[in-house]
Amino acid sequence: MGATLTAGRSGLKRGRRRPKEAGGAEARICDAIRQAILERRLEPGTKLQEAPLGEFFGVSRTIVRQALRRLDAEGVVDLREKRVAVVARPSAADVRHTFAARRVIEAGAVEAATARAGRADLAALRKLVRDENAAYANGDRTRGLGLSLEFHHRIGGLSGNPVLARYLRELTLLTSLAIALYEKSGVVHAHADHDALVEAIAARDGRRAARLMAGHLDELESRLALDPRDGAPSLAEIFGRD
């Protein structure tokens, strides 16, 4: 059974309410749900109920429904019968396809970014990586994750191609869902990949940056338990006896 999102206790952060037109309110709800998923505050399978969301954001259920339909079209939310919406639970096959697409998109984005990044851009990327490493070293996984996501989004922006950047954001969101659902227990997060990527960008070596990015995504995917175990576990495995 999945969790249920309620107005009082949820994975969303309440923001300042401002009167907006319907389209703006719809986009605001979509952005809040996407960010909560990216930061793992909304887990796969969580129910997204129209009434509590409408109360939380100060909008009608109609606007909430429109936002959920948009997220359903993006593959982030599953709309089921009787207007029940849940945060998507991608299959193992979906996850593999998503990572394959992200490798292509982000390798192209980082190669383009390498050709365009200036000194200020490199300084900003280095600061992001330093702050990310410090956050993880201090045990602040939430902040570290947010900075890691910002690093990848910044790469998309530096590509100079808004279409690439948009698709990269969508794929990053879907892979975040996959990681929340399938990440193996006890995984130790290493972040040297981002340092190496920045240095490849600084050296104007686009091909190396693209290879490093593909390898980085390979490593992220390798942390996921996507393959079912062969056969049922033995009683010795279940109860810990040799």
- Name the DSSP letter for residue 91: -
List the beta bridge partners of residue 86: 47, 78
pLDDT tens digits for 121-142?
999 999 999 999 999 889 888 8
Tokens of 175: 């892979």
Contact 95, 182 (CB under 8 A): yes
**What domains appear along the chain, each with residue ranges and CATH number?**
4-87 (1.10.10.10), 92-222 (1.20.120.530)
Q: In this predicted structure, which of 14-18, 75-79, 90-94, 220-224 has the lowest mean pLDDT?
A: 14-18
pLDDT tens digits for 69-126?
999 998 899 998 777 899 999 999 999 999 999 999 999 999 999 999 999 999 999 9
In this prediction, residue 190 carries a pLDDT of: 58
In this prediction, residue 64 carries a pLDDT of: 94
Contact 99, 219 (CB under 8 A): no
Closest listed residue to residue 94, CA positions, set 199, 146, 205, 171: 171
Distance separating alpha carbons of residues 94 and 110, to the nearest angstrom: 24
Distance separating alpha carbons of residues 5 and 86, to the nearest angstrom: 9
pLDDT tops 90 at residue 30:
yes
Check residues 5 and 143 and name the one with the higher pLDDT: 143
